[in-house]
A and B are shown apart, each in its own frame.
Chain A
Amino acid sequence: MAETDEKASPPVTLVDPIDMSKLDPSFRDDVKSMPNGEELTACFACSTCTAACPIANQWDFKPHQLIRMILLGMREEVLSSREIWECLTCFECQERCPQNVRVTDIFFDCKNLAAEEGYEVPENVLVLGKELVDKGQLYVVTADWEREDLDLEPEVPGLSVEEVEKILKKTRTGRLVGGE
């Protein structure tokens, strides 16, 4: 089509415009100072992590975009995203990053930050936390006859849950889900 004097429509963008006033420059430093976050700023946005991720096609924010959002300071969008909680923790992204950005570890950091700063933690994740703080384990032996059939002790030998309950009551788990 020849260029005419038709009015130009607004540019098509793949993402919503970023609200600059909401950017928080301290966010990247917060994440960078967390466990295995040091390499964050080495990201050159090649999106290899996204190519490696088996579920990125179902995400609104792809892994490389999340990293970019952290660098830009989009604290609220990242910490309230469902994506960080859906991360499989399969480490495929981290394994392939040519810049050694520990992508999966950084998403773990984001989840911890979200939990610390009062962003919503998925309910079923909290249920697991509650199990840990109340029972000291995620799975409890119910079919002890199955164990006996196999000549195993009905109770798991050596299992002791009190210390774990005690530890987790004092840490963030206790603060998030309370103890009994």
Chain B
Amino acid sequence: MPTYNLYMGCSVPANYPNYEAAMLRVAKAFDMELEYMEDVACCGSPNLRAFDYFGWLVVNARTIAIGEKNGNDIVTPCNGCFGSLKDVLYHLKHDDEMRKEVNDELKEEGLELKGTIKVRHFVEALYTDIGIDAIRAKVTNPLDGAEIAIHYGCHLLRPEDVTEFNPEVLKELIRVTGAKVTEYPLWKQCCGATVLPVNEPLAIRLARDKLNSIKTAGAEFITVVCPACGNQLDLQQLGMKESYGEEYDLPVLLYPQILGLAMGMSEDEVGLNMNRVPAQGILEHLVE
């Protein structure tokens, strides 16, 4: 069965252990061997790229080079990490001079980025390597057609030539659980997470635009595959209620939570009680 280098980054383990646990349980059910990478740290996020391009390259090239030692693809549940690692790999594959400079920095540790492995988002690896049919075979408690809106997150989708992610992947992964995919106009739009440190009202406006678009389209739930997007769409709903009296009542679930529940896992196993907007409502949509 496929073995992967699991790169967690810092945000999922610290803020979304429910995402981590649900992902590990789902992976285990399909014999995907996710092995935590050793001796790696944070990707630095797009913020690091903004003020220290070279540092961002070296930090992420280092992670990729560590992965290359055993030759297994790197898998991550976080769009921020995915974006950083994919972007760095793309930049260094297209810039021989810079790759040499970065590798000079890594030499001290005996590392070298060669570009021999892929960086992948967990949902893409699940879709491609396990396949929809094998997933369907394990769905024992399908959803009853509940309306779920997908928020992909920018760094999963764009730049397309870098991320190589096909949006249909998540749609199929949602449909196989028995849920319906709610189409909504702003499906591609940013959640606002990146601008939070610089302009909070702007970040809130973006989350609000998104939630309004989703609510109006008739969704009952939202699914995300990124902790930063999770913060913006889930946690911020509590803040909006408190600060502006706005109530969207849209529970936000990490994708493996939904699949896990449809595969018969308990709400504790997928950490449902840690979702900020109470998400227990989804249990009523499971067909026994």
Cβ contact within 8 Å between A91 and B40: no
Q: Which residues of A contact B40 (CB under 8 A)?
A: 158-160
Interface residue tally on A, bucketed by range: 35 or more
Listed in ascending order, the chain A residues whose CB lies under 8 Å from chain B are 35-36, 54-55, 58, 82, 85-92, 94-95, 102, 104-105, 108-109, 111-112, 115, 121-122, 124-129, 132, 136-142, 146-147, 149-152, 156-161, 163-164, 167-168, 171-173, 176
Cβ contact within 8 Å between B54 and A171: yes
Q: Does B138 contact A (CB under 8 A)?
A: no
Docked pose: A136 CA to B157 CA in angstroms: 27
Q: Which residues of B contact A171 (CB under 8 A)?
A: 52, 54-55, 58
- Which residue on B lies nearest to A144, using beta carbons? B17
Interface residues of B in 44-91 (CB under 8 A from A): 44-55, 58-59, 62, 91
Docked pose: A91 CA to B48 CA in angstroms: 17
Q: Which residues of B contact A126 (CB under 8 A)?
A: 51
Docked pose: A108 CA to B52 CA in angstroms: 10
Contacts A89-B194, A139-B15, A164-B59; A115 near B91 (Cβ below 8 A): no
Cβ contact within 8 Å between A139 and B14: yes
Docked pose: A37 CA to B144 CA in angstroms: 49
Docked pose: A111 CA to B50 CA in angstroms: 6
Cβ contact within 8 Å between B195 and A164: no
Taking the nearest CB of chain A, how far is it from the CB of B53, in angstroms?
5
Taking the nearest CB of chain A, how far is it from the CB of B273, in angstroms?
9
Q: Does B179 contact A (CB under 8 A)?
A: no
Cβ 8 A contact of A163, one of B15, B37, B41, B45: B41
Cβ contact within 8 Å between A90 and B190: yes
Contacts A137-B41, A152-B21; A167 near B62 (Cβ below 8 A): yes
